[in-house]
Amino acid sequence: MAKKLDLERILSKQGFGTRKQCRIMIINEEITVNDELCDDPDAQFDLENLSFTVKGEAWDYREKSYLMLHKPSNYECSHKTQHHPTIYSLLPHPLVVRDVQCIGRLDEDTTGLILISDDGQFIHRMSSPKHKVPKIYEVTCKHAVSDEQITHILKGVQLIDEDAPIAALACERITENVIHMTLAEGKYHQVKRMVAAISNRVEALKRIQIGELKLPDDLKVGEWKWLSETDMLLLSTK
């Protein structure tokens, strides 16, 4: 049997305010459900395939939130920032209220693909070192990258405070100064430190893929989108 909830509770669960605030919006005729105006806060609806509008903005009911963001430079992956705006300011307020979290932080000057969710199990599966979800970074280096340097990255470089050398899963030269580096770990400033260990320097860093999910060409910097069923399948494929 499909689960039913009253509209007031549905809106509150989706991050649109307290139950009292949601009740007022409903009574004020600011809500439509499945294209029909509803002014009864106690009206019950099936959650499956439920769509609604809040003050004219369209939403679909989602028990959990799964999204991707094209992170700009000079944004911090934290709710409490120190020097730059937070990436959460790029999201609609209802999602922030639901306490979504980014999965694997990017440095403030790093751009590219970042996943965001309020599903604790999903966050753990994507971020836990034991699951070894590969991530591909586009690395623009200050100096041309030699074959010997790529070989070194693949064999492993010794980083300060690390017991053993750390190697990339893959490293491909795209242009003279640009490489694609694949890592399964997420150590502090790992890409920058690995490139420094081969006597080079990172000038720009962009994450372009997580698992089999690539950063879409049509997702502009600063934009976000819901993860589709296909996207979720790509993330579950090792």
- Please report which residue ranges of the chain form alpha helices under DSSP H: 7-13, 19-27, 93-97, 120-127, 147-155, 190-197, 229-236
Whether 111 and 68 have beta carbons less than 8 Å apart is answered as: no
Tally of CB atoms within 10 A around 17:
17
The answer to whether the beta carbons of residues 88 and 79 sit under 8 Å apart is: yes
Q: What is the DSSP letter of 238?
A: -
Q: Say whether 107 is catalytic.
A: yes
> Distance between CA 87 and CA 11 in Å, rounded?
24
- The residue annotated as part of the active site, out of 107, 147, 163, 218, is 107
Bridge partners (DSSP) of residue 139 are 179, 205
Please report how many Cα atoms fall inside a 13 Å half-sphere around the Cα of residue 25, on the Cβ side.
22
Strand partners, 224: 69
Residues known to be catalytic: 107
